[in-house]
């Protein structure tokens, strides 16, 4: 029997595996060597992440459901930039934001099939 919360199963599976990157999809994410870490260019690591490459139908609640399971998550604010949704996610410290960035980079959300979300530290 299907329930209204079936869409959360992949997300819950992701977090039940101890924050393992391969469990996201949230469906087909690019596999990353566990020892390799993504380092954004031209920005300084900080407790805030900038998120882009979101579908126009992406809802703030969907993002909160994903990021609220990340250690150190504080808040998320979604905005429209030139008609495209973007978001800023605040964490307790740089360690927490870096872990979220490395584990969720290119994760595919249900509202954004076929393209992974883009995470980076915001430009100063």
pLDDT tens, 47-97?
999 999 999 999 999 999 999 999 999 999 999 988 889 999 999 999 999
Instruction: Name the pTM for this structure.
Output: 0.69
Question: Three-state SS string across the chain, please?
Answer: CCCCCHHHHHHHHHHHCCCCHHHCCCCCCCCCCCCCCCCCCCCCCCCEEEEECCCCCCCHHHHHHHHCCCCCEEEEEEEEECCEEEEEEEECCHHHHHHHHHHHCCCCCCCCCCCCCEEECCCC
pLDDT at 41: 58
Cβ atoms within 10 Å, residue 82: 5
Cα four-point dihedral sign 25, 29, 34, 38: negative
pLDDT at 6: 41
pLDDT at 33: 34
Confirm or reject CATH 3.30.930.10 for domain 6-120, answering yes or no.
no
**Cβ contacts of 46 within 8 Å, gap of 6 or more:** 94, 97, 121, 122
pLDDT at 21: 37
Percent of the chain with pLDDT over 70: 66
Average pLDDT, the chain: 76
Per-domain boundaries in the chain: 6-120
């Amino acid at each position: 029997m299907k329930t209204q919360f079936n869409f959360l199963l992949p997300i819950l599976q992701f977090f039940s595996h101890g924050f393992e990157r391969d469990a996201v999809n949230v469906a087909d994410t690019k596999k990353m060597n566990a020892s390799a870490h993504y380092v954004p260019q031209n920005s300084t690591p900080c407790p805030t992440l900038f998120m882009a490459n979101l579908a126009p139908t992406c809802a703030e609640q969907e993002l909160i459901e994903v990021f609220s399971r990340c250690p150190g998550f504080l808040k998320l604010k979604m905005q429209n930039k030139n008609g495209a949704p973007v978001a800023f996610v605040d964490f307790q410290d740089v360690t927490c934001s870096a872990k979220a960035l490395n584990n969720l980079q290119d994760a595919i959300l249900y509202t954004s099939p076929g393209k992974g979300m883009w995470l980076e530290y915001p430009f100063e």
